[in-house]
Amino acid sequence: MQKLLLIVILTLFTSLNIFSQAPKKLNASEIYESIKKLNFLGSVLYVAAHPDDENTRLISYMSNKVKARTAYLSLTRGDGGQNLIGPEIRELLGVIRTQELLTAREIDGGEQLFTRANDFGYSKHPDETLEIWNKEEVLSDVVLAIRQFQPDIIINRFDHKRAGQTHGHHTSSAMLSIEAFDLANDKSIYPEQLKDISTWQPKRLFYNTSWWRYGSQEKFDKIDKTNFISLDIGTYYPSNGLSNNEIAALSRSQHKSQGFGNTGTRGQQMEYIELIKGNIPKDKTNIFEGIDTSWNRVKGGEAIGDILHQVETNFDFKNPSASIPELVRAYQLIQKLENTHWRDYKTEEIKNIIYACSGLYLEAASVTNQATPGETVKLNIEVINRSPISIKLESIECNNTTISKKMELIENNGFEFHEVLTIDSNQKPTTPYWLSEKGTLGMYHVSDESLIGKPETPRVFNVIFQLNIENTLISYTKPIIYKINDPVKGEVYKPFEIIPEASVKISEKVIIFENNQSKNIPVIVKAGRDNIEGFVSLNYPDNWQISPDKQNINIPNKGEEKTLIFTVKPPNNQSEGQLIPVVNIQGKTYSKELIEIDYEHIPYQTVLLPSESKIVRLDIQKKGEFIGYINGAGDVVPESLQQIGYHVTTITPEDINPETLSKFDAIVVGIRAYNTLETLKFKQQQLFDYVSNGGNLIVQYNTSHRLIVDELAPYKLELSRDRVTDETAEVKFLEPNHPVLNTPNKITQQDFIGWTQERGLYFPNSWSKEFTPILSMHDKGESAKKGSLLVAKYGKGYYIYTGLSFFREFPEGVAGAYRLFANMLSIGKENTPIKTSSTN
């Protein structure tokens, strides 16, 4: 059964061309659907804030049923989200989620656009969002997207009127979309954009509402729907054997990093959109009413429409190539259109249809997936025509040189050519364009304006095939790709990328020194080409010491790594700074790390980021030594505690028994453990008994939704959704004399400086009198939240509940977070550790 299911899934994926790097190979049904789409001249832009906000059902419906050109404008790339599939967070997560969106769009037929806004994490209010984003820049990017894409219809995912009730990014996306709707047609707005594109006025703007916006289906049924359009999006597509919602589910399931796997449904399903701008159509099922979506919409289009409707009517599923002469005739007429917007878009569409109808296959494959500037690379070029149509190859252009290759492409007779590509010595390495310059918390910085809005960095190396099809010159541009045969996976495609001749990294991004002892730090150098020779040194803060000054390096083989050890000695007092490794090869310096992102569902990619590690000399005292850690949803708290000298043992609920627990000075429960570990509920009483016998139990944040225990603590404790997202919010000490603020480390305001992303989340808002609230804090305009750190004595030990974001602060090396946590672990402990003998 399992096996059968797998085969079915694989077959589906193949037919949908899900593997983004592999070339699309349309079958006859897909060609026919493309011809229908070629005959529709209308467009829809869907707008929201994050990857995964988009309604894939509606996008798929617009693209596959209505046949509209459909795009999703995600204001951000989702850097602030979680990652369920790997260790990448922040900008690297944004790279993954960008590709997840692109893969989703390949499935549902949409296109993907972005702005320069950065997902900086949760935001309670659009006022805050638009302050941290540069509002003018994001608005200008939305206006640019409208002017470039020229949508007839805009659909917002979110309600612009819900400020303060949902994520500030969401409300902001709707507000900016509405503002841009009114501005895009105004020549005086962002005139610098109007060099190559023109102003544009979309006709209607909708909000994609739903019954849950109104609390219940019942309430929704009662509201006035004069301005609503209802669409039955449950269409079935016989051409690929899937319902619209099955396609949408496959698309949505690409958001794997967010755990958004989705099961498709069949049958009728209503989708509602509410008119915000423009006039309401009389036909409540046609959002394009009054907009000409036929070829008549463009001057000179009528004749094209006449030809292409015939092509659609006469399409021969057994012989798609029979349509080629007429398609070529239409292609010629499209070239003459004055409307450059539709000319360019329809040219690409019809070229792809001609390509598919003739069974053409054009490919330029490099023998390596990575090359360095100055290198030469061998290319294998394949050209074949698999139709009886007369097609001649005129030339192949590669690397700015045109090679004349005049030859008749006889049906099903393939040609292979071998060419050499020389990479310019000044060629920039391949990396996501939005990460190549330093941005701010809220914005990416993109100095090349032509890149703004693009989903990914355009491929630099392409091969252009000039063909003569039915006496008409048509050129096809194919990016150079890398292709191998994997013994298990079969044909595997990867992008062809340029990498620097050397890259360098320090694995630990934060290195904590809990005293003034030196540490040996490994520096890893990777060769981008054969035979690199040079030396490596480190940049570091003044009051630290490094030895040796520099070390020679010699790596014979491309792709090989060498590790050098440097000794780093911290100063005597609390101090922090950056450690930056630098590789010097014949006067050229390299200090970037090459990060590979390699997952099955998205294309392989490399990202170049500055290689720097934060070094922190902590002024920290601690009591207790052995810690048991119960992992919840996953965090790096155990590794962080190990860095400051604790012996940390990870334990599972199954390991929990009185004997095991007695070995530890403290048990720390990882984030959301009471949401994710079903079996932990059976051990709750044993954990309480452990506290009663003198142990310390520290529980980090959980959410009240899907809590697996009734009693989180030995005393009454109620979780809420209270959170403090401003990481600089003032922290008041409610109990300045409490041991947790005084021993062994004296906690001061200094310890709350330099926190990152937030103070904390899901604080309890109600607790029994045995708990002592230690701190008070709140976001702007809100009441004081006192539940971030609660301490209770229970029997001989202590139970501590904290929603403070230690799991975010530790990996950033925030000294105060370490010092406070050491106090929590030390509370009630003697100066000497309880356990003097090593346990395990």
**For Zn ion, the closer CB: 53 or 501:** 53
Q: Which two tokens stand for residue 565?
A: 């050890």
What is the chain's length? 840
Q: Which residue is nearest to Zn ion (CB)?
A: 50
Smaller CB separation from Zn ion, 52 or 501:
52
* Integer angstrom CA distances of residue 833 from 8, 659, 837: 58, 18, 10
CB of 420 closer than 8 Å to CB of 377 = yes
The residue behind tokens 């020194």 is 513
Are the CB atoms for 698 and 656 separated by under 8 Å?
no
Contact 804, 596 (CB under 8 A): no
- The nearer residue to Zn ion, 55 or 640, going by C-beta atoms, is 55
Q: Which residues bind Zn ion (CB under 5 A)?
A: 50, 53
Q: How many CA atoms lie within 13 A of 201 on its CB side?
A: 8
Q: Which is nearer to Zn ion, 110 or 500 (CB)?
A: 110
Give the number of other Cβ atoms within 10 Å of residue 1's Cβ: 5
Which tokens go with 784? 């004081």
Phi and psi dihedrals of 126, rounded to 5? -60, -30
CB of 75 to Zn ion, least distance (A): 10
CA dist., res. 411 & res. 387, Å (int): 5
Q: Between 50 and 647, name the residue whose CB sits nearer to Zn ion.
A: 50
CB of 102 to Zn ion, least distance (A): 18
Report the residue number, 50 or 57, with the smaller CB distance to Zn ion: 50
Judged by beta carbon, residue 190 or residue 444, the one nearer Zn ion is: 444
Which lies closer to Zn ion via its Cβ, residue 167 or residue 592?
167
Among positive and negative, which fits the CA dihedral 599, 601, 603, 606? Answer: negative
Please give the Cα distance from 514 to 755 (Å, whole number): 19
CA distances for 62 relative to 105, 216, 245, 591, angstroms:
12, 26, 12, 47
**Terminal C-alpha separation, the chain:** 44
CB closer to Zn ion, 258 vs 613 = 258
Cβ distance 606 to 819 under 8 Å?
A: no
Residue 6 has, within 13 A of its CA and on its CB side, a CA count of 3
CA atoms of 538 and 365, how far apart (whole Å): 39
Query: Quick check: bond before 325 cis, omega within 30?
Result: no
CB-based contacts of 542-548 (< 8 A; 24+ apart in sequence): 543/571, 543/575, 544/568, 544/569, 544/570, 544/571, 544/575, 544/577, 544/615, 544/617, 545/569
What does the angle CA 778 – CA 779 – CA 782 come to, to the nearest 5 degrees? 80
Residue 111 in 3-state DSSP? strand
Rounded distance, CA 524 to CA 455, Å?
32
Instruction: Give the dihedral sign, CA 586/587/592/598.
Output: negative
> In which region does residue 374 sit, left (phi positive, over 0), alpha (psi from -120 to 50) or beta (all else)?
left
